[in-house]
Structure 1
């Protein structure tokens, strides 16, 4: 992964005309940040794999010589953030070139509905690719006895941090059971902080909408033991009927060591950008995302990487596809 320190160093060199010893090469350098989530989540490591795959700064060895197969002159980097809402806001303001988002949050931002009701629409939001399903995890202490979301009433529960898509979905799931933040002892922590507090007995449960297996949850399952609480029932059935971006899902047994599987719901993780990003650049980014070298890196780099497939690159798209990415998908026959 090209980390933040390397990213800044390359930027300084580019400004000084010092990459490759030629100002012309420095001028060709392009930066492409990918907003993610907390470092213990799934967004951050997967974005790191993708950033590494699509980067090809001046001076890199050619692809056919075992070097980078990414976009010539591109330096991409995964940037930790508060999650979906924060990433979309950063894209909209120009603080980020792109970011990962839950499909529901992207749809609400683009249409000015849901949590964006009464706020300006993020009309420039565009899709690069749909990535993978994100499962709604409700994690409880081993032996908690929780059988349903309804059992959270009066309990100490972390709903994730402000700016995250998880917090949005957690409130929707609570509402499906007639609950709000006020009916629980709510906290708003990143997944790793939540896992630490659960381990120490300072929390009863926490929520994480993420691809499984998620690192902090896996570690917790292996060290302290956890239970997954099912997310199902009449309220959830009604929610699924109302919002098409939710889907029925299941976290299988032993997705986390020694933990029984449960039925739950999911949304899609999507890679989004702004219509203001150049068509040619986003075309090259999409092309680099779906080349054979990236395929190998995704398959080897993270357990969820194998589920990122070209065949589902446009699945559940609630926002328009960026014209540059659309050109690539037309070439692949995914768009007529």
Structure 2
């Protein structure tokens, strides 16, 4: 009888805790990219599971009862599809893909628009990386012709932008020996001499590229000149960028490229109060400290740019917070 009573009490406590707990998944990208570590930092910052100490008690400054997790995924397109399908509560995606998906334009033309997609925050600029093996002889985008090039996996924002870059420089997939691999897989192939170049879109320094550069002689190829100018003129979500010298081993000079915003999106179906609390937790002092210390791109995630470069509606909860904070009219 005593054992039964203990089990009953235990189950009651467990049930109550489960009822007070909310799970919130953040779709990121491959573990070798930038989305995944940034997602982990944010998930940690906004979480405050039942039974945890409150911020006032020296504990988490996240949302009471919330358990957030960073989920590895295929990236931008996959995250948006998962949010719309209800298998993710939120996710990271490139600004171009976000706008196209919500409006049913660009790469989303002919497919049902993700009309319930809503913005939580613009996070940081993502740089287009074109990495080539030194022995490949590749020194420009045009030199990719006839080479073995990975454009990243289906469902990734990198694949979208790699195709734009190729087209902007007068090339297509038919002009290269195209493969569709994650950056870490492409890097492994390059080490083995089976890959000449690969594209990656993400914040620098990217883990897969940094590791590769420390073990193999590679070069970062500029995305600049007339081809880049044409891309900037055609696509307003791209901006001119450069990867500073010394970002990767063996990189002696700045490398001109393009960038696009990384954005955190969710569904309009999520409760306003939940998203308000999450947005508020994203911008508290505790989160600021975690972002500044946790990743090079974390320092670029700032409240004053959270509403910049946004082409879709904000979630009402996020909108309410930004208006209170004075960064949104």
TM-score bracket, normalised by the shorter chain, equals over 0.9
Matched, 1:110 2:85: no
Say which is worse superposed, 288-297 or 175-184, in terms of deviation.
Answer: 175-184
Partners of 1:18 and 1:85 in 2: CA distance: 42
Partners of 2:181 and 2:9 in 1: CA distance: 42
Whether the 8 Å CA contact 1:20–1:59 is kept in 2: the answer is: no
Aligned to 2:27: 35
Matches within 5 A, 1:129-140: 129-140=121-132
**TM-aligned CA distance change 1:284 to 1:228, over 3 Å:** same
Match of 1:44 among 33, 36, 48: 36
Whether the 8 Å CA contact 1:17–1:26 is kept in 2: the answer is: no
Whether the 8 Å CA contact 1:154–1:183 is kept in 2: the answer is: yes
Aligned to 1:198: 190
Coordinate RMSD, CA, aligned: 1.5
Matches within 5 A, 1:266-281: 266-281=259-274
Runs of 4+ aligned residues of structure 1 deviating over 6 Å after TM superposition are 16-20
Whether the 8 Å CA contact 1:143–1:227 is kept in 2: the answer is: no
Q: TM-score, normalised by structure 2?
A: 0.95
Matches within 5 A, 1:207-246: 207-246=199-238
Aligned to 1:185: 177
Q: SS of the residue aligned with 2:212?
A: helix
Matched, 1:286 2:286: no
Match of 1:80 among 62, 72, 85: 72
Aligned to 2:250: 258
Task: Give CA-to-partner distance per residue, 1:75-124, whole Å, 9 cap, x none.
Answer: 10000110000000000111100000000000000111111011111110
**TM-aligned CA distance change 1:70 to 1:186, over 3 Å:** same
Aligned to 2:305: 312
Partners of 1:23 and 1:122 in 2: CA distance: 35
Partners of 1:158 and 1:238 in 2: CA distance: 23
**TM-aligned CA distance change 1:304 to 1:204, over 3 Å:** same
Aligned to 1:160: 152
Partners of 2:12 and 2:114 in 1: CA distance: 39
Aligned to 2:3: none
Partners of 2:94 and 2:150 in 1: CA distance: 19
Q: CA deviation at 1:147?
A: 2.2
Q: CA deviation at 1:145?
A: 3.1
Matched, 1:296 2:289: yes
**TM-aligned CA distance change 1:17 to 1:286, over 3 Å:** farther
Q: CA deviation at 1:143?
A: 4.2
Aligned to 2:164: 172
Whether the 8 Å CA contact 1:17–1:23 is kept in 2: the answer is: no
Aligned to 1:9: none
Aligned to 1:5: none
Aligned to 2:63: 71
Aligned to 1:26: 18
Q: CA deviation at 1:148?
A: 1.2
Partners of 2:46 and 2:233 in 1: CA distance: 38
Q: SS of the residue aligned with 1:304?
A: helix
Partners of 1:28 and 1:322 in 2: CA distance: 23
Answer with 1 or 2: which has the greater Rg: 2
Q: TM-score, normalised by structure 1?
A: 0.93
Q: CA deviation at 1:247?
A: 0.4
Whether the 8 Å CA contact 1:42–1:215 is kept in 2: the answer is: yes
**TM-aligned CA distance change 1:169 to 1:17, over 3 Å:** farther
